[in-house]
A and B are shown apart, each in its own frame.
Chain A
Amino acid sequence: MWLPLRLTLLFLFLLLSPRALLRSGSAAVVSGEEEEFHEELLLKPLPDRKVLAHFHFHSIAPPSKSNGRHHHLFPKAISQLVQKFRVKEMELSFTQGRWNYERWGGFDPISSNNAKPPGVELWAVFDVPEDQVDAYWKNLTNSLSGLFCASINFLESSTMYSAPKWSFRITPGSLRYGTLPREAVCTENLTPWLKLLPCRDKAGLAALLDRPSIYKGFYHSQRLYLTSNASVPAETVSGISLEQTLTVVLQPNSPSSSSIHSGESNFQPSWSLSSIFGRKISGKCVIAQSSIVYLQLEKSIFSEQKDNMDNGPNSLASEGFAGGSGFEMSLDPDIVIEEENQSQHKGSSVLYGFWVEKYNESQPLDLGLKWKYPVFWSSQQAPLHASRFLMGSGNERGAIAILFKSTNSADSSSGSRHVSDGCELQVDVFQVVPWYIKVYYHSLQIFVDDEAKPIGDFVHKIQVSPSKDKTSPGMMEMLLKLPCDVRSAALTLEFDKGFLHIDEYPPDANQGYDIPSAVISFPRFHSVMHLLSNDSIRKSPLLSRFQEKNRVQSYTEVLLVPLTTPDFSMPYNVITITCTVFALFFGSLLNVLRRRVGEEERYLKAGKKKGWLRVLLSRLLAKFRGKPMEEPDQPSSESAPLIGKKLVLKVILVAVLAVAWQFYST
């Protein structure tokens, strides 16, 4: 009796189990691919007594059907943007101040990824056919403009954006790139940016962002980078990864070393989170998967110590915070990560991690760093330091020069190790010039070590899309191959300054126009941190970002070009005076042409033969209409009735014309 029951139960179970298994499996998938949010902060003392704070917020929305159009953590505005405009990849940055490549480094991942040109920079890759990209770009700029309270919509006009082929990114796709060098960046841009975070600036690391202390800094760049995995079926919502970073360079004002005596000024200023931001971290954003504060120190600091104290590299980390070396941290790090020394570059670093979750309101995280004795180090430099300047005077023409100077820190051995076939240094130059700067590309000259050289020897590849008046900017992409032992190289390009219509001048026309930064990248050099792999690293989006292979990239200065202005105050005068001159020409020439000296004579003659007049009248009238030009023997008589008739004819003609015009215009 029991047996068949058991059997049937078993059978039923077997029948149902695959479904149950399936269901549990799918549930696992969903739980595994939940939306994530990570917040991280990287602090780094800079060689010139400043502190770099790099906030990194990472939101991930996995591709899924289940969420539909709703999200738990991920900002809906961004996901709608991605869905609607088919954005595959996009980066938007608001920057104020200029990244100092010489002092703050030009080789590490932060300077390659997060050092941005002043103003707004936006680039986006779309997942649409090439002929629709421009339309999508225009819509995207307008949406972003509304989203971030900035004049990004100016990038809509075709004179403002360009489509770099190969020099800006290696795999461009349908890429559009535009910058607004003059955009002022302030809190009204930061607030909408913070609104995208799940905790806004109420909790977690973002609570540190005290506006006055941020905007007091030397450099401030907020950035938004998103990628969506394209090639998903149309009905599912594509997965998006949103990376929001804020990079600030601040000057800690430590009261202890405030005396700027020559002896004291060697000390790096001591600082703490509360001293540079005026706030402390009182716990993590509860939704965040991870919330970590890192402190990054160059290893060269330790090597100095090593020489002094003869400490082993293994023990230095523990010695560091224990107070054995030149600095002292106010808190014990939860994790110490070292950069693998396999990198050829001497500047490798150590990261100290602090878990924010361990701290709370009563015991806030206030990381401080105190230097014990003067330390010197220098940041890693890109192989060449690029700068750009204008040449010439006056408002008619000039020249743009890009100067590359070899940095001593990037020694030639590293370059040669990178390049197998002969020692050469590859440099990509990408430059966009607005249309009113009319660049003569044939005037390109190259000077290597201060000597003019033929262009073909060094310019390996050049692609130019010349500017079209009021339609598109001029774009130049160039691949230079310079010898490794080059000390300096310079490119010059001549240009004429254009003249605009008065409506095209901005409100303060005499201030001048900005030429956006050129992008200099070194395709054979990659800014990558080789960290000793660890579980915590794999989880941290910031560190995994650092471990990505990105080519070393730097931006040059924005150039300010003054343009000639017409007189804005008197368009009416110009119009009326010019028209007067034209009228003078027209009237006087016609007058000369129709004046007849001999006519009076003939008229008098005709007056004598008055008897003839009546007889001739009808004949003349017919003749006059046929031949307006007088025959030599024909007395052109101008008597009163004739004039009257002519007048009537003229009036009728004008009336007919007026009626016709009316009819036509309505």
Chain B
Amino acid sequence: MPTANTQEENSKSELQKNHGGGGGFTRWAVVAVIFRLALIYFPGNLNLSSRPEVSTPLTSIRRLAEGYWLKQSSMSPYAGSMYHGSPLLLSVLGPLTVKRIEGQPGHILCSLVFVLADLISAILIRATGRKLQIAYRKSLKSLNLPNKSTDSGALSSGDIAALVYLWNPFTIVACVGLSTSPVENLFTILTLYGAATGLAPLAAFGWVMATHLSLYPAILIIPVILLLGYGPDAPPSKLFRSKEHGKVGDGKSSQEIIFSWRRAFHLLVWTSLWSVYVLVLCSISVKQHGSLQEMFQRTYGFILTVEDLSPNIGVLWYFFAEVFDFFRDFFLIVFHSNILFMILPLAIRLKHRPCFLAFVYIAISSMLKSYPSVGDSALYLGLLGLFLDELADMQFSFFLFCGYVGVSLLSPVMHNLWIWRGTGNANFYYATAMAYACFQIVLVVESVSSMLNHDRKLTKLSTSKLQK
């Protein structure tokens, strides 16, 4: 059979490439880990853990340590308004914040956990990327379109995405700065990996944990269902259908993609199972001094009401510090629903590319969330690498790159001028946050637009082929 042959060839070449690329990946991944360890052991105190860009009220390790201390002194960790994270994270990371090893830096054990989380995330991104690439080639082949990505270089897009994730300065800073966002990112990536490989239990676990840790990944349930139902990203389904129409006379087996309700149902069952499990674990850990209701109030309530107005790289803190009190509720609803409004149009338009859809959701939520940090940006920038082939002709990429570099250099300067020197003004820092938001908007809009253009191009190619 010719198809089998080509498939074999394909997989062989894949294997070879992966092997070759894998060597490169391993090398670079190891170097990245060593680089992180070197930064952790850096003699001077970098004080990254109290930078507003790195640690938000939700992800700060100092607040976690305070919560753990409160819990140890037999109080609710949510007493006072210091800790707003998950009680599970508290039980896992809490003891590590206290434990000291002689002759080692203070939070060495925590740092190691975060480095490990980063590494696992990178490996999962790579595996997801490979899955996506295989699916992409397969769908191109089935449409009889030329596969351009074979000559895209030594590394596959999955490897590149993983390395981008590992070597992104944002990721490194978030990891070395001891914010808990590497762990949150890990669960988000685990969700995507589980969904891409069709493992409903894993996807459900990742989704439940990610939602539990930071609420915003809740909207990922739509891409996850689509991913499990339709399989990984593919060109629009109508192409296959039209191709079938063209080949009706041939009488070949149909390749139509059908939504697999069985898998979606599996996912729902597993999701409810894991949710119950996580809730039970949480209630056990908060039972002594508090209640689940208090936990939800202190975590989700804190996220949704934007109580903490300390500066971060988002735009909401300054807005809610300045807005008149009687408008506060209105704007809270408006800003949060900005994320929700976009869910449906995006899902309709991009339902054939669930992974990309997930990327767009993550990017939007990390831009509009109440307490954003660079760790959130690191996640979507890493995922962006997965769609290198599709987004090859994205506009403004250099401009965006320069913008990101510029903002990440200017923002600490403005913060320093305002907070430490007192010569600057809150508006300076806010302006950089504004610019950052604008760059993120341009990135999201451009990536969506170029993905749609890519699909159009595929359509054009396949229809022209059909017409031939």
Chain A positions within 8 Å of B, measured between CB atoms, are: 393-397, 435, 438, 440-443, 462, 464-471, 474, 496, 498-503, 564-567, 570-571, 574-575, 577-578, 581-582, 584-586, 588-590, 592-595, 597-598, 629, 632-633
Can you list, as one digit per residue, whether each of B425-468 has a CB less than 8 Å from chain A (1) or not (0)?
11100100010011001001100110011001001000000000
Q: Which residues of A contact B82 (CB under 8 A)?
A: 438, 440, 466
Chain A nearest CB: distance from B324 CB in Å?
7
Bound CA–CA A410/B445 (angstroms): 74
Q: Which residues of B contact A (CB under 8 A)?
A: 50, 62, 65-66, 68-70, 73, 75, 79-82, 238, 241-242, 307-311, 315, 317-325, 334-335, 338, 341-342, 345-346, 348-349, 367-368, 418-420, 422, 425-427, 430, 434, 437-438, 441, 444-445, 448-449, 452-453, 456, 459
The answer to whether B80 touches A575 (Cβ under 8 A) is no
Q: Which residues of A contact B310 (CB under 8 A)?
A: 496, 498-499
- Complex CA–CA separation, A593 to B445 (angstroms): 9
- Shortest Cβ distance from B108 into chain A, in angstroms? 17
Do A499 and B321 have beta carbons less than 8 Å apart?
A: yes
- The residues of B that contact A590 with a CB separation of less than 8 Å are 345
B81 touches A468 (CB 8 A): yes
CB distance A585 to B338 under 8 Å? yes
Q: Which of B80, B334, B342, B426 is A589 in contact with, Cβ under 8 Å?
A: B342
A441 near B70 with CB under 8 A, answer yes
Pick the residue among A442, A498, A570 that contacts B68 (CB under 8 A).
A442
Q: How far, in Å, is A659 (CB) from chain B's closest CB?
A: 22
B80–A467 touching, CB < 8 Å:
yes
How far apart sit A629 and B68, CA to CA, in the bound complex (Å)? 53
Please judge, given known A-B contacts A467-B80, A574-B430, A581-B315, whether A501 and B321 are in contact too, CB under 8 Å: yes
Nearest first, the 10 A-B pairs at minimum CB distance are A466-B80, A442-B69, A394-B420, A571-B322, A469-B81, A592-B449, A566-B426, A499-B309, A574-B322, A632-B238
Contacts of A585 in B (CB 8 A): 338, 367-368, 437, 441, 444-445
Q: Does B311 contact A574, Cβ atoms closer than 8 Å?
A: no
Give Cα A503 to B327, complex, Å.
Answer: 13
| Whole-angstrom CA separation of A633 from B324 in the bound complex | 53
Is B438 within 8 A of A584, CB to CB? Answer: yes
Min CB distance B333 to A, Å, is 13
Number of residue pairs A-B, CB distance < 8 angstroms: 149
Q: Are A629 and B348 in contact (CB under 8 A)?
A: yes
Indicate if the CB atoms of A502 and B321 lie closer than 8 Å: yes
Asked if residues B323 and A571 are in contact (CB atoms below 8 Å), the reply is: yes
Supply 6 further A-B pairs (C-beta < 8 A) apart from A502-B322, A592-B445.
A438-B82, A501-B320, A501-B321, A502-B321, A578-B315, A592-B448
Chain B residues closer than 8 Å to A598, beta-carbon distance:
456, 459
Which residue of B75, B320, B452 contacts A464 across the interface (Cβ within 8 Å)?
B75
SS of B interface (majority): helix
Known: A442-B68, A466-B79, A499-B309. A395 touches B338 (CB 8 A): no
CB <8 Å contact, B349 and A593: yes
User: Which chain A residue shows the least CB distance to B315?
Assistant: A578
Report the Cα distance A574→B331, complex, angstroms.
13
Give A574's nearest chain B residue, CB to CB.
B322
A-chain residues with CB within 8 Å of residue B437 when the two chains form the complex: 581, 585
Identity of the chain B residue whose Cβ is nearest the Cβ of A442 in the assembled complex? B69
Task: Let me know if B426 and A567 touch, CB within 8 A.
Answer: yes
Q: CA–CA, A469 to B82, complex, Å? A: 9
Tell me the bound Cα distance from A464 to B444 in angstroms.
46
The residue that A500 contacts in the complex, of B309, B341, B348, B445, with Cβ under 8 A, is B309
- Chain A residue contacts of B308, Cβ below 8 A: 469, 498-499
CA distance A442 to B449 in the complex (A): 49
* C-alpha gap A575/B319 in the complex (Å): 6
Least Cβ distance of A215 to chain B in Å? 35
Determine how close the nearest CB of chain B comes to the CB of A590; give it in whole angstroms.
Answer: 7
User: Considering only CB atoms, which chain A residue lies closest to B308 in the complex?
Assistant: A469
Complex CA distance for A500 and B426, rounded to whole angstroms:
13
- 22 pairs across A/B with beta carbons < 8 Å? A394-B419, A395-B419, A440-B62, A440-B66, A442-B66, A464-B75, A466-B82, A469-B307, A469-B308, A470-B307, A499-B317, A501-B321, A567-B427, A571-B323, A574-B322, A577-B434, A578-B315, A578-B318, A584-B438, A588-B445, A589-B445, A595-B452
Nearest neighbor of A462 in chain B, beta-carbon distance: B73
Check A566/B321 contact, CB under 8 A, given A395-B420, A466-B80, A499-B309: yes
A586→B342 CA distance, assembly (Å): 8
Decide if A597 touches B456 in the complex (CB within 8 Å). yes
**Cα(A620)–Cα(B50), bound, Å:** 61
Instruction: Decide yes or no: A442 and B241 within 8 Å by CB, A502-B321, A578-B319, A584-B441 being known contacts.
Output: no
Known A564-B419, A592-B448; judge A501-B309 contact (CB<8 A): yes
Taken together as a complex, chains A and B put the C-alpha atoms of A584 and B445 apart, in Å, by 10
- Residue of A503, A586, A632 touching B338 (CB-CB under 8 A): A586
Min distance, Cβ A313 to any Cβ of chain B, angstroms: 54
A593–B341 alpha-carbon span in the complex (Å) = 13
Q: In the bound complex, do residue B425 and residue A393 qualify as a contact, i.e. CB atoms below 8 Å apart?
A: no
**Which residue of the partner chain B has the closest CB to A566?**
B426
**CB pair B345 A499 closer than 8 Å:** no
Check if B322 sits within 8 Å of A589, measured CB to CB.
no
- Nearest Cβ on chain A to B63's Cβ, whole angstroms: 8
Question: What distance in Å separates the Cβ of B451 from its nearest Cβ neighbour in chain A?
Answer: 10
Residues of chain A within 8 A of B322, CB atoms compared: 502, 566-567, 570-571, 574-575
- Looking across the interface, which residue of chain A has its beta carbon closest to that of B320? A501
Shortest B249–chain A CB gap in Å is 17
Chain B residue numbers with a CB within 8 Å of A588 are 441, 445
Listed residue (B50, B73, B319) with the most chain A CB atoms within 10 angstroms of its CB: B319
Residues from chain B with a CB closer than 8 A to the CB of A499 are 308-311, 317, 321
- With A394-B420, A567-B426, A578-B315 in contact, do A501 and B325 touch (Cβ < 8 Å)? yes
A574 and B68 contact, CB distance less than 8 A = no
Across-interface contacts of A395 in B (CB, < 8 A): 419-420, 422
**Chain B neighbourhood of A584, CB < 8 A:** 438, 441
Shortest distance from the beta carbon of B93 to any chain A beta carbon, whole Å: 13
The CA of A149 and the CA of B80, in the complex, are separated in Å by 34
Residues of A within 8 A of B444 (CB): 585, 589
Complex CA–CA separation, A567 to B338 (angstroms): 26
Report Cα–Cα, A21/B62, bound state, in Å. Answer: 77
Shortest B405–chain A CB gap in Å is: 20
Chain A residues near B80 (CB, 8 Å)?
465-468, 474
Complex Cα gap A396–B348 (Å): 45
Q: A565-B426, A567-B426 are in contact. Are A500 and B452 (CB under 8 A)?
A: no
Q: How far is the CB of A455 from chain B (nearest CB, A)?
A: 11
Chain B residues closer than 8 Å to A577, beta-carbon distance:
434
- Measured CB to CB, the nearest residue on chain A to B241 is A632
- B449 nearest in chain A by CB position: A592
CA distance A510 to B321 in the complex (A): 16
Q: What is the CB-to-nearest-CB distance from A580 to chain B, in angstroms, rounded to a whole number? A: 9
Bound CA–CA A462/B69 (angstroms): 12
Q: A466-B79, A499-B309, A567-B425 are in contact. Are A582 and B66 (CB under 8 A)?
A: no
A578 to B314, CA, bound (A): 11
Q: Which residues of A contact B70 (CB under 8 A)?
A: 441, 464, 466
User: CA A575 – CA B434 in complex, angstroms?
Assistant: 12
Expressed in whole angstroms, the minimum distance between the Cβ of B173 and any Cβ of chain A is 17
CA distance A461 to B319 in the complex (A): 43
Chain B residue numbers with a CB within 8 Å of A565 are 426
Assembled-state Cα–Cα distance A474/B75 (Å): 14
Q: Are B81 and A467 in contact (CB under 8 A)?
A: yes
A441-B70, A501-B325, A581-B441 known; A396-B319 Cβ under 8 A: no
Closest to A591 in B: B445
CA distance A571 to B69 in the complex (A): 39
